Structure formats: structure tokens, C-alpha cells
Amino acid sequence: MRMVVLGLGYLGATHAACMAELGHEVLGIEVVAAKRAQLAAGDVPFYEPGLPELLKRNIDSGKLTISGSYGDAADFADVFFIAVGTPQKKGEYSADLQYVDAAVEELVPLLTRDALVLGKSTVPVGTAQRLADRADELAKDINVEIAWNPEFLREGFAIDDTLHPDRLVLGAFGGGAAEVLCREIYAPIIDAGTPFIVTDPATAELVKTSANAFLATKISFINAIAEVCDAAGADVKAIADAIGYDDRIGRRFLNAGLGFGGGCLPKDIRAFMARAGELGAAEALAFLREVDNVNMRRRTRMVEKAREMCNGSLVGKRICILGAAFKPESDDVRDSPALNVAGQIQLQGASVTVYDPKATANSKRLFPTLDYAESVVEACSKADAVLVLTEWREFVEIDPIELKKHVRHANVLDGRMCLDSGFWIASGWNYAA
């Protein structure tokens, strides 16, 4: 089938390449010229394992083409995916929908045939209805159907999550072609046994926000337990393992530590709270404010722990931060807990050197005043404390005996509880997590 993907950021580039991989003819629209040129050359402007190869293969075969023109988009197909960003508004909790709105405002007046517009971006409940009303106003003697088809991909696993999702969700208004067309678009995925859930648009929008809110709640739950463990001298990892054996709880997303960051969970729970407030249901989601509070407290606590390790003061200390990305297998530093901690430690008078295998360039843009190293050893040279804040495999595999030769004081703070504590302690390190 021919289809267009509007917006080639993280979500759009992955979706476009994966749809081409399924055999569709895809036109990707990216309005930022520099990004477009990079992608057209098969070069992905962010780190996502496997995506450069997938993108290049499908560009070379002609299945995927890239353009900056909405006119090209309107001519190319009758199915359009909206995959633009919905960041948090500056100084507010709610989502900024200007890019989603702009996609509809620009595309619909150019359409000359009936069309289906499928939203993939994460949006507040009620957005599809509002866009459907607007599309009706903008459409010229044609029928433009709006439906919502949220995406659940994780950075670092984006291709696998798109081609082998846990479920597909479609929120459609009755009487349209959305369900039939989606069954055709996703045929290989549905045929493989993937549940395909069809709802109304408001429900589909809420499925996505509820999923992210639940994941955030799960992480903050275990981090709240970690606070109690800290006070009681108990082992939060053992608790997560033990309760995780209960199928109703499950072990995944119960890793205590520095908490969640990135471009999705933090802004999505805030936008969810804001929208619930607008709808008069603020009380229902009041607990999400505490989920956010627990999460943000992890960062302050990490700074306190680093100060405790350095005998009560960070002034003049050399601190090595291992990890800057918000999670491993990503170069994304949006709302990165690691960089947030690095910044706070620097403000308390320490000299901070950061090393990350992939996220250094993005980190430098966001925090140019921190020092950056090219390797673990360089970052740790003469350090008073080493903080592991993103659980990259490279850090999990560090040889503590070897690293000890390079630091001034063998203090290690394991912000992701990912190191073999027994081995580090046996190697002469003062270990805390």
C-alpha cells in the first residue's frame, strides 16, 4: 500500500522504515531540511540500533522516499500517519500540540481525494475529535477520516517494538475505512498473532497515556520502597526479585535507582495530569504528582549520597559520571537523570567529568560547562568518586581492580544498581547504591 509518514523524528523515521520493510511504498515528510538530507543519505541523526541499516536498505530499494513537501504528500497516497513530536509546553504541564495541529492544517487543504489520517503521536484525550472537526472544516468536497493508532515503541528497541509489538491499538470513529485499512497495513503483524484492539479514538488515546503512566508508577513505586529500604537497611533489589515472581506484579520495570527520564514518561504523566484537570477529573490522577515527586527526589538523593561519600562536601572534589543518556542503547539526553545529577554536583562546587559511549555530543549541547572524557579511564582519572548513572554494558563490565589504579579515592556510587557489588567491594572499593 502507498502511505505517507508526516515527521521523521524518532517515531516517524522508525515507523517509515518499518512500513517500507513490511513491503509498503512509503513517502516520509520531514520539514527540517538538514535532517531530511541526512536521512535521505541513509544517515540517522540519533542513535537507534539497526535503524541506519533498515533505512538505507529501504531507500536503496526505492520503497522509502523522503521529501519536505506537503504537496508531494497529498499527491502520493491516501493514508497518512502523523508522527510529529508532542513535547511538554514551556512552563506548563500540558502537551504542546502545535506540530500535530500544523500537520492537519497543512495537509488537509491540499487533499483532492478521500483520505485516512492516522495519528501515532502521543496526544491528550480529545485530540482526535478536535482534529476530526477541524479536518471537516478544511476538507474540500472530500471525506478525511481521522483515527488514532498510538505507538508503544521504546528507544533502543524501536524496530523490534514496531515490527513485533505486544499489541496494535486503533481508535476509530464509526463508519470509516480505518479498521479495514489498518488490517491491510499491519497484515503481517496481525497474522503473526498480535492482538489488534479496535476502540473509539478517546479510548485509544487513553490506552497510550495510561500505559506510560502505569510504567512510571511502577518505577516510582519501587523507588519509594527503596527509600524505605535505605532507612531500614533492607535490600530493594531482593524485594523486587521476590515480589516480581508474582505474575500479577511482574519483575520488569521494577529496577530501583535513579528513576525515569527521557522524552516520554516524564512529559506524558504531566500532560496526563493536566488533561485530567481540564476534564474535571484531576483527583483521579493526583497520585501521578507523587509519582513525579518520588522520581525527582531520586536525583537529589543521588547528589546527597555523592556528598556523603566525599566526607560531607563536594567543593573541590573530582567526580566522574559514567552515563549521560537517559537509558542505555540511546543517545537521548532529554530530561536525563544522569545529566541532571551531573549539573547539580557541579553547582555544589565539584569538578565533574562525564563519559557516555553514545550521548556525548548531545550532552555537550545541553550542558556545555561540564567536562567530557573519551573513555571510562580518562573520566575516572584521579576521581574522588565514580557515579554510574546509566547502565551501559561497558560500565557493567568494568574491571574494578584495574579501574582502582586510576582513581584518587575508590568510591563508587551505583545509581542503577547494575554493578556486581560483591566484586567491587572485594576489589577494595567503597560501594554504595
Q: What angle, rounded to 10 degrees, do the helices at 201-232 and 127-138 form?
A: 150
Interface positions, 115-144, toward ligand UGA (CB under 6 A): 122
Residue with Cβ nearer ligand UGA (246 or 399): 246
Choose one: 68-76, 173-181, 257-265, 351-359; the region binding ligand UGA (CB under 6 A): 257-265
Contacts for 221 with CB less than 8 Å, ≥ 6 apart: 254
Please identify which residue in 260, 272, 395, 429 interacts with ligand UGA, judged by CB under 6 A: 260
Q: Please tell me the count of residues contacting ligand UGA according to CB under 6 A.
A: 22
In one letter, which amino acid is 389? L
Interface positions, 326-385, toward ligand UGA (CB under 6 A): 326-327
Burial readout 401-426 (b: 16 or more C-beta within 10 A, e: otherwise): eebbebbebbbbbbbbbbbebeebee
φ, ψ of residue 232 to 5 degrees: the values are: -100, -5
The set of cell numbers assigned to 334 is 532529554
Interface positions, 165-184, toward ligand UGA (CB under 6 A): none
d(CA 313, CA 305): 11
Bridge partners for 79 per DSSP = 116
Q: What is the CA radius of gyration of the chain?
A: 23
Bridge partners for 64 per DSSP = 26
Choose one: 21-29, 46-54, 106-114, 149-157; the region binding ligand UGA (CB under 6 A): 149-157
The set of cell numbers assigned to 73 is 504528500
The CB-of-254 to ligand UGA minimum distance in angstroms stands at: 6
Choose one: 18-26, 73-81, 193-201, 247-255; the region binding ligand UGA (CB under 6 A): 247-255
Please identify which residue in 46, 93, 173, 253 interacts with ligand UGA, judged by CB under 6 A: 253
The CB-of-391 to ligand UGA minimum distance in angstroms stands at: 8
Please identify which residue in 14, 94, 149, 255 interacts with ligand UGA, judged by CB under 6 A: 255
Is 73:4 a contact under the CB 8 Å cutoff?
yes
In one letter, which amino acid is 227? E
Does 219 interact with ligand UGA (rule: CB under 6 A)?
Answer: yes
Catalytic residues: 264
The CB-of-401 to ligand UGA minimum distance in angstroms stands at: 28
Please give the residue ranges that form the binding site for ligand UGA (CB under 6 A).
122, 151-155, 212, 215, 219, 253-255, 257, 259-262, 264-265, 268, 326-327
